[in-house]
Amino acid sequence: MEWLWKSNSLRLQVTEKIWVLAVVLGVLTLTTSGVESRKARILDSFEYSAISCRAHSASITDFGGVGDGLTLNTKAFQAAINQLSQYGSDGGAQLFVPAGKWLTGSFNLTSHFTLYLQKDAVLLASQDIAGWPVIDPLPSYGHGRDAAGGRYISLIFGANLTDVVVTGDNGTIDGQGALWWQKFHGKKLKYTRPYLIEIMHSDNIQISNLTFVNSPSWNVHPVYSSNILIQGITILAPITSPNTDGVNPDSCTNTRIEDAYIVSGDDCIAVKSGWDEYGIAYGMPTKQLIVRRLTCISPYSAAIALGSEMSGGIEDVRAEDITAINTESGIRIKTAVGRGGYVKDIYVKGMTLHTMKWVFKMNGNYGSHADSHYDPNAFPVIQGINYRDIVAENVTIAARLEGIPGHPFSGICISNATMGMARKAKKVAWTCADIEGITSGVVPQPCGLLPDQGPEKLEACHFPEESLAMDSIELKRCSYQKKYL
Ligand SMILES: *[C@@H]1O[C@H](CO)[C@@H](O)[C@H](O)[C@H]1NC(C)=O
Ligand SMILES: *[C@@H]1O[C@H](CO)[C@@H](O)[C@H](O)[C@H]1NC(C)=O
Ligand SMILES: *[C@@H]1O[C@H](CO)[C@@H](O)[C@H](O)[C@H]1NC(C)=O
Ligand SMILES: *[C@@H]1O[C@H](CO)[C@@H](O)[C@H](O)[C@H]1NC(C)=O
Ligand SMILES: *[C@@H]1O[C@H](CO)[C@@H](O)[C@H](O)[C@H]1NC(C)=O
Ligand SMILES: *[C@@H]1O[C@H](CO)[C@@H](O)[C@H](O)[C@H]1NC(C)=O
């Protein structure tokens, strides 16, 4: 266990070790290269913020990892994490990934564990599709999204865990998705494409200060989980890449996503909770979700989408300070007959939008069913949707709001929204059907189904004052002592 360090005992020894190092280096110079057996150590520590700090540390290089972009490191990652999992009940462990290109297949996380990617560390997802493990479809979806059967496991996967941190100094997780997108377009996939990170049935999760690029499909997927902090992440994928959603909170409680910069080919944030009869049976909503300081560029999708898979329900979503540029819609609710479930108590305050096809979009006829066994009487309930303090420019259509005939979307409130229309804007700025609600201080003038309450009610649409549990999470300052061979 030579590579293991007890963090707290270390600091006192720093000076001493540097002296030892100088001596060993002297020896190495004299005996030239190839002297791998003597381990000299340079100590160099750094700090980061996390929900918990760890007592034990190791680097991927301690497990034979090679960051040359060519060596496959799947076994090194899995061996490291399996080994470190034994410290779960003894203060937990952190695994450090130094600068380099670390080619790897999928690996599984463990509890009381931190994965830390240094600034110039890049995890490169293996392109060996045949060697990629396949797991069951999500129970709340019944089917894979790309193909009926199973799905390729995510690059970084975790199930039934507690207290997991995936963070770094803006290190990168690169899905090398082009090959997968090609197979998807060519209908050559036997199973649903992998995500970059999926955490299932877990609690107390932090994903922060990382860059995700070129995911094969969705990027970050917490599902059936709670108490999730996602902070300071950048997500980049070509704007035409298929289904490269940014973050998909799915049947999760207490999630806080903030300071995210996302450029993608699909929704920047897609809030979900299961698909048709499978999602209804599973019955697990997404609730108490905070999204703050999101910047989104997604010309073919939404900054924040609710659905279309929402059969377990979505409630109490609070979005603030949303910026979208060259994005199809600001907030979009998508659902269909057969979904069941609900979308209710949605609060959005403060959106700055530039170059939008629609600012607001809702559709009740999204289709896209898991299979033909959905219940034609499972009508989704869409109720209590509040949007306020919105400034948009270069807008083609202000809103397209279409509920379900006989089952209108109700309690819609839009206040203090100024939408500057594009030179080539459509003549009809609002299209509304099967919806009920009010507006106040909205320009251009809303449709008749959302009667204007007058300009003095700019604060008409509610935004909750009381904070949620995720607001009081306190991050600790943690440290890691690097050592080099
Ligand atoms: C992310 O990085 C920023 C700036 O470097 C730092 O202030 C913040 O504490 C970090 N957050 C987390 C959760 O690591
Ligand atoms: C990771 O976990 C999944 C789900 O339990 C399992 O199918 C897979 O074999 C695990 N992978 C490894 C490398 O243990
Ligand atoms: C995790 O726990 C759930 C039940 O809570 C169980 O159905 C599932 O099989 C477990 N998954 C794994 C990968 O261990
Ligand atoms: C992280 O890296 C990405 C990609 O290089 C960059 O766009 C982003 O600005 C960086 N974030 C921080 C906080 O440095
Ligand atoms: C306005 O939007 C159109 C697309 O609708 C785009 O081509 C144009 O560049 C935008 N103009 C500005 C000033 O951003
Ligand atoms: C209206 O929205 C603007 C832009 O977000 C904001 O600055 C202003 O405070 C809002 N007005 C009221 C009365 O809330």
What distance in angstroms lies between residue 40's CA and the mean position of ligand 6's atoms?
Answer: 60
pTM of the model as a whole: 0.91
Which ligand sits nearest to residue 160's alpha carbon?
Answer: 3
Alpha-carbon gap, residue 225 to 298, rounded angstroms: 27
CB of 232 shorter than 6 A to ligand 1 = yes
Per-residue pLDDT tens for 110-131? 999 999 999 999 999 999 999 9
CB of 168 shorter than 6 A to ligand 1 = no
What distance in angstroms lies between residue 442's CA and the mean position of ligand 6's atoms?
Answer: 12
CA distances from 27 to 36, 41, 44, 310 (A): 12, 13, 21, 65
Per-residue pLDDT tens for 16-40? 333 333 333 333 333 333 333 344 4
**Any residues with Cβ below 6 Å from ligand 5, and which?**
355, 394, 396, 422
User: DSSP per residue over 228-286, as a string?
Assistant: EEEES-EEE--TTSTT--SB--BS-EEEEEEEEEEE-SS-SEEEB---HHHHHHH---E
Can you tell me whether residue 392 is helix, strand or coil?
A: strand
Secondary structure percentages of the chain, helix, strand, coil, to 5? 15, 45, 40
What distance in angstroms lies between residue 284's CA and the mean position of ligand 3's atoms?
Answer: 15
Tell me the average pLDDT across 3-12.
40
Maximum C-alpha span of the chain: 86
Per-residue pLDDT tens for 281-332? 999 999 999 999 999 999 999 999 999 999 999 999 999 999 999 999 999 9
Per-residue pLDDT tens for 340-392? 999 999 999 999 999 999 999 999 999 899 889 999 999 999 999 999 999 99
Alpha-carbon gap, residue 466 to 258, rounded angstroms: 18
For atom 8 of ligand 6, the residue with the nearest CA is 389
E strand or H helix at 295, and its extent?
Answer: strand 286-297
Per-residue pLDDT tens for 384-440? 999 999 999 999 999 999 999 999 999 999 999 999 999 999 999 999 999 999 999
CB of 131 shorter than 6 A to ligand 2 = no
Which residue in 312, 233, 247, 241 sits closest to 275, CA to CA?
Answer: 312
Active site residues: 266
Query: 4 pLDDT exceeds 50?
Result: no
Q: Cis peptide leading into 444, omega within 30 of 0?
A: yes
Contact 335/378 with Cβ under 8 angstroms?
Answer: no
Number of Cβ within 10 Å of residue 268's Cβ equals 29
Q: Which two tokens stand for residue 156?
A: 């970084």
Contact 106/194 with Cβ under 8 angstroms?
Answer: yes
Alpha-carbon gap, residue 163 to 205, rounded angstroms: 6
Contact 73/65 with Cβ under 8 angstroms?
Answer: yes
What whole-number percentage of the chain has pLDDT above 90?
Answer: 86
